[in-house]
Amino acid sequence: MSVYELTKPYNQYADDIVTGRIKASRNIILACRRYQEWFKRDDIYMDYEEVDRRIRVVGRLKHWKGVYNKKPFILLPYQQWIFANIFGWKWKDTNLRVTKNVLLFMARKSGKTALASALCISQLLLDNNNGQEIDCLANSGAQAKILFEMNRNFTKSIDPNGIIFKRYRDTIKMPHTDSEIAVRNADSMTLDGLNSSTFILDEYHAAKTTELYDVMKTSQGAQQQPLAIVITTAGFLLATYPLYEMRKMCIDILEGKKKDDTQFTALYEQDEDDDWMNDESCWIKSNPSLGYTVMPQYLRDQVQSVKNQPSNTFGVLTKNFNMFCQSSDTWIQEFYLNKVVQHVDLEDFKDEEAYIGVDLAAVSDLTCTTIMFPPNPNRAKYPDKFVFKTICYVPSSTLDGVNGQKYSQFSNVDKYTFRVIDGNVTDYNEILKDQMSMVNSHNVQYVAYDSWNSTQWAIEATNQGLPLVPFSQSLGNFNKPTKDLERMVLSGKCIIDDAPFIKWCFNNVVLKRDYNENIKPSKETKENKIDPVISMCEALGAYLSSGGGDVEVV
C-alpha cells in the first residue's frame, strides 16, 4: 500500500473531484476514484519522487507566446494528476511503469497540445533509456507538425544555444542519449521499421481506421515501458470510427466491466444531462483549464453564437464542450433532442385543440401520422409547450427489405408508435381508423397532407369528415415550420414522444436549402427515413397557417 499524501497537489485534486469540491464529469469522477483505490493495492506503488521530478522539469520550460510568454510552464493540479497516473504507478516486483496506454480527452484551448509536448520532453529527458524514439503523429501532417513545433520551442526555451538538443526540420535529437523526438508522416505505409518507445497521436477523433494506431503499437513490441498516448477533442460519435470503440472500452474499464491496469483514461466532457447553454458551472467539466487557457467570456461568446445561429451547434459542441455529434450535417444534434423527448399519452390531451400532419407512403413503405397540441395554460401536462405524438406504419413486407432489421427492432421496442401491418401494401383503412379515433377524441382543427400522393386516402378521409387541408411540399411552404420546430427543440419549448424510431429519423435529417435560405428536412439516402419529421412539420404548418400565430421562443 502507498500513503495517500494530500500535500501533493495531484492527490488533492483527485480528492476534490471525488468529494465534489470541483465539479467534474461522471467519467472523471470514476477515474479519480480508481486512482484513490489503487493506493490500497499491494502489487503496485506510487513513485512520488518520479512524479515530482517530472513536474519540476516541466516547470523549467518557458512559454514563448501569448499572455504566458516567457513564463514557466507550471502544471495545473489536473495536469499533475495526469502525470501521476502515467508516470507514478509502478509494479513492486519490477519497478516498471504500470501505465502503457493513455486516452486524454478535453475541449479545445485547454492546453492539450502543450500538455502533450510536456509529456514528450519529460520522456526525452527523464526516461533513463538510451535510444528513445518519441513520435508525434496525427491524421494530417499539419496537425502533427503543430505538436512538433511546440516541442521545438519548449526545448529552445531551456537550451537556446543547442547544447543539449539538436533541432532539425523534422527531428529534435539529444546526442547524449542517442534519443529523438520526431514528427512522422500519417501515412501508415511509411512507418514500418520504427522502434517507437513513446508516441503521441493527436486529434484521433478524425481517424476513420485503426491502421495508424495499430502500426505504431506494433512498433513498440521490443520496448519494456512503451507509452501510447492518444489525445483528442470530440468529433463524430460513429460506430465506424475507431475512437468510438476506444472510448467505449475505456469507459467499461472505469466502470469495472473490464480490467486493464495498463490503460489510463481522462475524459473531460459534459455529461448528457448538463445544461451547458445556461449553466456556466458545468463548463469546467470539459474545460479543466477554465480561467487559465480558456476564458469564461470566450465560452459565453460561443454559446451566444449557437443561440443566434443554430448551425454553429456542431462546432461549438465538439470543440468547446467536447461532446460527440452524429455528423456535421445533422440538423438537430441528439443532445438537444434528448432534452425534449418524454412519453406522451393521448389520454392526457383529451378534447384538446389539435392539428394533424400526415405523410403517406406511395404503395408499400412508411406512413406517419403526427398529432400536435399547442400550448394550453389550463392543462395539467406540459401547459407551456407544443406536444407532438407520432404513429408510424409499415406493411409487413418491408421487414424483408433494406431497413427490415431496423424496422423489426423498432417495432419490438414500441409496438404502439411503430406498427407493422400485415400485407404487401400500405393499408390506408387501418391508418384512417386511427386518425378518426384522434379526431373523435380531440378537437382537431386541420389535417395537413400532401395532395400529390394521397388521392385514395383523401377521398375516403373527406367522406368520413376529416378537416383536410393540402400542404405543399415546396421549400417555401416548409421553411417556417422547419425553422420553428428547430427553435422549439433547441430552446426546450416542445415535447416529442419518446420513441427510438423518431430519434433515429431526426438523426437522418439534413437540410435542403434554396437561394432564399428557405429550408426543408431532407435525407442523404433512400434508406435514411425522415417521414415522422415531415409529418411533424406539416402538423405545425397547419397550426401556423390557421392563424395560430408565431411560435414564441424565449
Does residue 406 surpass a pLDDT of 60? Answer: yes
Burial of residue 190 (number of CB atoms within 10 Å: 0-12, 13-18, 19+):
exposed
Contact at 8 Å (CB) between 356 and 335?
no
Separation of alpha carbons 551 and 94, rounded Å? 68
Task: Report pLDDT digits (tens) over 233-276.
Answer: 987 655 567 888 899 999 999 999 999 999 999 999 999 889 89
Report residue 197 as a C-alpha cell. Answer: 518507445
Cβ atoms of 355 and 545 closer than 8 Å:
no
Enumerate domains of the chain plus CATH numbers: 3-282 (3.40.50.300), 334-546 (3.30.420.240)
Q: Which of 533, 527, 499 is nearest to 415 (CA)?
A: 499
Helices (H), 442-474: 455-463
% residues pLDDT > 70 (the chain):
94
Please check the confidence at residue 412 and state whether its pLDDT lies above 90.
no
pLDDT at 188: 54
- Could you tell me if 433 and 370 are in contact, meaning their C-beta atoms sit under 8 angstroms apart? no
Closest by alpha carbon to 116, among 232, 207, 289?
Answer: 232
d(CA 240, CA 395) in angstroms, rounded, equals 31
Contacts of 444 (CB under 8 A, 6+ apart): 354, 355, 356, 371, 438, 466, 467
- Per-residue pLDDT, averaged over 508-524, amounts to 84
Is the distance from CB of 39 to CB of 33 less than 8 angstroms? no
The pTM assigned to this predicted structure is 0.70
Q: Which of 365-369, 420-424, 535-539 has the highest mean pLDDT?
A: 535-539
What gap in Å lies between CA 65 and CA 111, rounded to an integer? Answer: 13
> Residue 26's pLDDT band (boundaries 50, 70, 90)?
very high
Cβ burial 279-309 (10 Å sphere, 16+ → b, else e): eeebbbbbbbbbeebbeeeebeebbebbeee
For range 501-520, the mean pLDDT: 85
Lowest mean pLDDT among 83-92, 333-342, 442-451, 530-539: 333-342
Give the number of residues written for the chain. Answer: 554
Q: For residue 178, count CB atoms less than 10 angstroms from its CB and return exposed for 0-12, middle for 13-18, buried for 19 or more.
A: exposed
More confident residue, 364 or 178: 178
User: Tell me, what's the pLDDT at 554?
Assistant: 43
Kindly report, residue by residue over 472-499, the tens digit of the pLDDT: 999 989 999 999 999 999 889 999 999 9
- Distances, alpha carbon 505 to alpha carbons 149, 263, 323, 333, 356, in Å: 44, 36, 21, 12, 19
Residue 192 burial (CB < 10 Å; 0-12/13-18/19+)? Answer: exposed
The β-bridge partners of 446 are 355
pLDDT: which is higher, 68 or 97: 97
Give me the residue label for grid cell 486516452.
103
